[in-house]
């Protein structure tokens, strides 16, 4: 009965899954010492040969997650020839899923890692959008993938957040007549800037609802049609000066507007 043994963990990705399974299994055997050696990114037959060379087959078990069918078969054959016990963690799962779904797997390595990377990029983009929302810090303009400009209540913030969930770092800048425009807006490439316009009658209704929710006086300039027309005219002139594309947000869903923004940015870049 073995008192000490080695577990060789091989993976064409980082190998965390195989390591966790191997460790959880080994811990079930009390009064036995073991050591795990992990070999990530095993993507060639030469790498397999290098790892297996010189293994003491009496005290080693190989656990692997390799989705490439040819490489997995090569590893399995070599283990058999060297009389090294082995466990292919992925294959039983893939076989069962294949039968259940009646379709073949992509056999693409590192899928979980890519999903994790995508998740953290999305979190970073959302944090970026919150940090630089509504012109809080104009320095974000130079770091952004997309810069949205428009008057108050033209859907800049919800559009920024939606785009952030698509992994875009977005800054939105309110355009207020009489207020200084951030100088960074003229330093960044115009290909990153998208102007948002909206029909004045729709805008006044949106602002009136906002005023009602906040419990403020509905007679303020914020909902004055004259002031709104002045704001929109000022915004339009500034957008022409910058030379950026403009999207009409009137009655547009955020999802629809986001798709337009992405299409424009991709075309321009």
pLDDT of residue 17: 87
What HEC string does the chain produce? Answer: CCCEEEEEEEECCCCHHHHHHHHHHHCCCCCCEEEEEEECCCCCHHHHHHHHCCCCCCCEEEEEECCCHHHHHHHHHHHHHCCCCEEECHHHHHHHHHHHHCCCCCCCCCHHHHHHHHHHHHHHHHHHHHHCHHHCCHHHHHHCCEEEEECCCCCHHHHHHHHHCCCCCEEEEECCCCCCCCHHHHCCCHHHEEEEECCHHHHHHHHHHHHHHHCCCCCCHHHCHHHHHHHHHHHHHHHHHHCCCEEECCCCCHHHHHHHHHHHHHHHC
pLDDT of residue 116: 64
Q: Residue count of the chain, please give it.
A: 269
User: Which residues 6+ apart lie within 8 Å of 162 measured at CB?
Assistant: 254, 255, 258
Q: Which residues are annotated as a binding site?
A: 150-157
Q: Which residues are annotated as a binding site for ADP?
A: 150-157
Beta partners for residue 246, in sequence order = 195
> Burial, 200: exposed, middle or buried (Cβ in 10 Å; 0-12, 13-18, 19+)?
middle
**Sign of the Cα pseudo-torsion (252, 255, 258, 259, in order):** negative
Under a CB-based contact definition with an 8 Å cutoff, are residues 146 and 194 in contact? Answer: yes
Beta partners for residue 61, in sequence order = 7
The CA-CA-CA angle for residues 64, 70, 72, to 5°, reads: 10
For the chain, list residues with pLDDT below 70.
57, 109-116, 217-219
Under a CB-based contact definition with an 8 Å cutoff, are residues 78 and 48 in contact? Answer: yes
Considering the entire predicted model, what is its pTM? 0.63
Under a CB-based contact definition with an 8 Å cutoff, are residues 164 and 203 in contact? Answer: no
What class is the 4-109 domain? Answer: alpha beta
Under a CB-based contact definition with an 8 Å cutoff, are residues 265 and 188 in contact? Answer: no
- The Cα 261–Cα 263 span in angstroms is 5
* Of 238, 257, 237, nearest in space to 248 by CA: 257
CA 97 to centroid of chain Cα atoms: 26
Structural domain boundaries in the chain: 4-109, 118-268
């Amino acid at each position: 009965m073995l008192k000490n043994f080695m577990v060789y963990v091989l993976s064409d990705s980082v190998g965390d899954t195989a390591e966790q399974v191997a460790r959880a299994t080994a811990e079930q055997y009390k009064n036995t010492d073991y050591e795990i050696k992990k070999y990530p990114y095993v993507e060639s037959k030469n790498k397999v040969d290098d790892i297996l060379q010189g293994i003491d087959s009496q005290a080693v078990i190989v656990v692997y997650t390799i989705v490439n069918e040819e490489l997995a078969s090569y590893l399995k054959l070599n283990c058999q020839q060297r009389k090294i016990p082995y466990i292919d963690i992925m294959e039983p799962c893939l076989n069962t899923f294949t039968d259940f779904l009646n379709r073949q797997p992509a056999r693409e390595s590192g899928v979980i890692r890519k999903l994790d990377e995508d998740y953290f990029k999305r979190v970073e983009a959302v944090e970026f959008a919150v940090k630089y929302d509504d012109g809080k810090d104009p320095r974000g303009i130079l770091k952004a993938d997309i810069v949205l400009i428009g008057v108050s209540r033209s859907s800049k913030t919800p559009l920024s957040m939606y785009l952030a969930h698509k992994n875009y770092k977005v800054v939105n800048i309110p355009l207020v007549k009489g207020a200084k425009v951030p100088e960074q807006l003229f330093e960044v490439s115009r290909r990153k800037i998208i102007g948002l316009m909206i029909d004045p009658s729709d805008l006044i209704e949106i602002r009136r609802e906002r005023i009602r929710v906040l419990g403020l006086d509905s007679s303020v300039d914020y909902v004055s049609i004259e002031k709104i027309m002045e704001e929109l005219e000022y915004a339009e002139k500034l957008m022409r000066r910058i030379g950026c594309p403009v999207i009409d947000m009137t009655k547009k869903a955020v999802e629809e507007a986001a798709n337009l923004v992405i299409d424009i940015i991709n075309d321009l870049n």
